[in-house]
Amino acid sequence: MRLSDFKVLSFDCYGTLIDWESGIWAALQPLAVKAGIGREDALARFGHHESAQEAETPQLRYSDLLALVHARLAAEWGVAADIAADRAFGGSVGEWPAFSDSAVALAYLKRFYKLVILSNVDRASFARSNLRLGVTFDAVCTAEDVGTYKPDPANFRYLVARLGELGHPPAELLHVAQSLFHDHAPANAAGLASAWIDRRAAAPGWGATPASEAHYDFRFTSLAELADAHRAEQLG
């Protein structure tokens, strides 16, 4: 299997293109300081509460869901409820930074593939993040569109249907993502090939993503590494 076998790349956004752990940690600072919680512990508890809230309220817009996650964290850490702080955290998504390699790698890949987003986010929040990525995606599929959050199989059925509208069968798609839990496991179940962008390769634990096991067809530690591998195929 070669990267050049595919005609469409679908991307998870947060954790893969956008450095959500740095963004989450920055936005959690007021709460984490009050609670005396360190970065890795905070990210792990965020991952626990975020996935639980997504399962409990799948039709809730992501910015509103994040506000509830913030409230859950405050309650767990014994910090007084603060609705304004909850809402501020929910609205922070557009402030989360892109990984330094994302825009350049996407610009290169755009020359060879159709690019699609499949993200656990609302459209307004993604629009703000997209300004940091520098490309126009051929399709954007959000949890707001689907009415469920990954890893629900419905999100990948929606992706495959959208791909068909673009004229491509599933065999022409490579799903590119960091999270084994949110992306690779359901991509496996949908019969899709996938590339793991292992952004936490040098860090212990799972960070803001629940632990999981899944198959993947390619593994890279950055999007730049994926682009370099494709470039090497072209030269070969």
Tell me the catalytic residues.
12
Degrees (nearest 5) of the Cα angle 101, 119, 98? 25
Q: CB-hemisphere CA count at 13 Å for 236?
A: 9
Euclidean distance between CA atoms 42 and 31, whole angstroms? 10
In our burial notation (b when 16+ CB lie closer than 10 A, e otherwise), range 161-200 reads: ebbeeeebebebbbbbbbbbbbbbbbbbebebbbbbbbbb
Question: Assign residue 225 a region: left if phi > 0, alpha if psi is -120 to 50, beta otherwise?
Answer: alpha
Euclidean distance between CA atoms 44 and 60, whole angstroms? 22
Cα 229 to chain centroid, rounded: 22
Helix (H, G, I), strand (E, B) or coil at 179: coil
Euclidean distance between CA atoms 20 and 50, whole angstroms? 13
